[in-house]
Amino acid sequence: MTTQPRARDLGIRIGSGEPGSLNAITDVAGVRVGHRSVIRGDDGSTDAIRTGVTTVFPREAAPWTEPVYAATHILNGYGELIGINSMAEWGILESPIVLTSSQQIGKAFDASVAWIATKDVTAAEAVMPCVTECDDSFLNAVLERPLRDDDVFEALDAATGGPVEEGCVGSGIGMQCFDFKGGIGTASRVLSSDAGGYTVGVLVMTNHGDRPGLLVDGVRVGEQITDLMPIEHSEGSCIVIVGTDAPLMPHQLRRVAQRAGMGLSRGGSYASNGSGEQFIAFSTANAVPLDGKPYAPRVLADGSESWAVISSVFRATIEATEEAVLNAMLAAHTTVGRDGNTLFALPHDRLLTILRAAGRVSA
């Protein structure tokens, strides 16, 4: 795993909350993340492949044996999320979440069904895998249809807890962010003991934003770094996955998912007309039984006694989303793809100079 300094390593503190030990979605116990990077062809060749697959599992167990409560929110819908209807209807997540390239979403779905069948044939006959996407066609020769079943299998089999690789990895290889190189990013927050001590973790696949709008900790960074621009701007999209161990029900998780959009806006996103902002939130607190019998889940009530706790989850989601996007950009490296198309990395030194001048990072 290659590592670059993350926001906090550089002295950039987003919000007031405290991260978990990994500052990653995997701080939520049981959550696992896997990547498969697919890179073929020379830089600049017409058939260069710069794509991949990233997977998120909500629990250690197979999700079709222990579904969790979940919900979605679509801020702007120019994108696809397979599985959204069943999740909205039943309020549960019963598969891994698979992220990939827009033009490969069908392949990823088909391969996910095949992978589940290798584990549980009965489940594969019934489970609707959750698969979502962003467009990586600026760097990736998408019409080569580069994704194979084995690529999806490897991303699913590679899922593990612990540190999460960020930047140009998995489904993030071909992604942009505010006209810089983007990719995969993650962050977390641990609520205070008064708010239950729950953990909120976020993973993002960034592919969004206009350079002039880029904000870092409230500072107008994009207006001050006007070079290092791609030859073509794409409105892009962003996928945000929010996991928490707070005992929330689907209607509450829908509200959590909505707050991911506020985290994106704090970084300068306005969910443009041609963008697809798709959010999924799940809670690991309850394994939903499959026997159809009544049971008593752990639940944070919506009444006044829990208001402060739920509000703390909202704030944690917003802060972790904002920081995860920044971590994705900081981890990414300059990448050349098909036809010489290039996305440049956000320059750390220039970013820090701007933030120091604004008093956001100590000299």
Give the containing element (helix H, strand E) for 252. helix 250-266
* Bridge partners, 186 (sequence order): 203
User: Smallest Cα–Cα separation from 238: which of 329, 316, 154, 311?
Assistant: 329
Could you tell me which residues come within 8 angstroms of residue 308 by beta carbon, excluding any fewer than 6 positions away? 194, 195
Which of 313, 241, 265 minimizes the C-alpha distance to 73? 241
Told to judge if 277 belongs to the known catalytic residues of this protein, a careful annotator would answer: yes
- Burial of 144-166, coded b for 16+ CB within 10 Å and e otherwise, reads bebbeeebbbbbbebbebeebbb
Take residue 208 and report the two structure tokens written for it. 């969004």
How many whole angstroms from its chain centre is CA 331?
14
SS3 call for 90: helix
CB atoms within 10 A of CB 305: 9
Residue 214 amino acid letter: L
| 66 catalytic per annotation | no
269 catalytic per annotation: no
Residue 342: what are its φ and ψ, rounded to 5°? -130, 135
Catalytic option among 171, 234, 275, 312: 275
Say which of 95, 188, 237, 269 is annotated catalytic.
Answer: 237
Among candidate residues 66, 277, 319, 322, the one labeled active-site is 277
- Residue 19's φ and ψ, nearest 5 degrees, are -80, 165
- Burial annotation 269-303 (CB, 10 A radius, 16+ → b, else e): bebbeebbbbbbbbbbbbbbeeeeeeeeeeebeee
Q: Give the catalytic positions in this structure.
A: 237, 275, 277
